[in-house]
Amino acid sequence: MELSDIRKLIRLMEKAELTELEIDDSNQGLRVHLKRGGAGDANSSPVVHLVSPGGGVQAPNAGPAAHAAPPAAGGEVVLAPGTEYFTSPMVGTFYRAASPDSDSYVEVGARVNDESVLCIIEAMKVMNEIRAELKGEVLEILLENGEPVEFGQPLFLIKKG
């Protein structure tokens, strides 16, 4: 199971105000159990447990946390030195490519410069090319094609330099 799938499940839990969610996929031999907070604490972050076919608990695939220090006392993620989130300059719909048949503008590991197009954000039926505006390497793409995006929402994790 990919980190993006887990994020979607967490968003679903938050939207539906669920405190616990369990998915058992016998075909893949995978069980996912998400649980938020203690008794009556629906505002805390979900805890994720992936159970492998052998029954052992695994951590989900590495995501932004792999490039970040442990959360600070306030619960915010502290990024590793030299990395930063590239955030959305507008509200709209995120697309990784110019069309469904085209290759993505960038992949994980791609080197970008201030003129590199990272993605498109569609707003009011206008396709806006979003440029990197910095030099570095794409460490992670945080959204999937067609996902809605808010102003200031992280889109990419980039190592500057």
142 and 85 within one domain: yes
Q: Which domain holds residue 106?
A: 66-70+77-160
For 16-30, what is each residue's pLDDT tens digit? 777 777 777 666 667
83 and 51 within one domain: no
Query: For position 105, what pLDDT does the model report?
Result: 95
* CATH number where 136 lies: 2.40.50.100
For 94-112, what is each residue's pLDDT tens digit? 999 999 899 999 999 999 9
Query: For position 28, what pLDDT does the model report?
Result: 66
93 and 41 within one domain: no
- Which residues lie closer than 8 Å to 4 by C-beta, 6 or more apart? 143, 144
Mean pLDDT for 141-149 is 93
**From its phi and psi, is residue 13 left (phi > 0), alpha (psi between -120 and 50) or beta?**
alpha
How far is it, in rounded angstroms, from Cα 69 to Cα 6? 20
Mean pLDDT for 56-62 is 41
Question: How many structural domains compose the chain?
Answer: 2
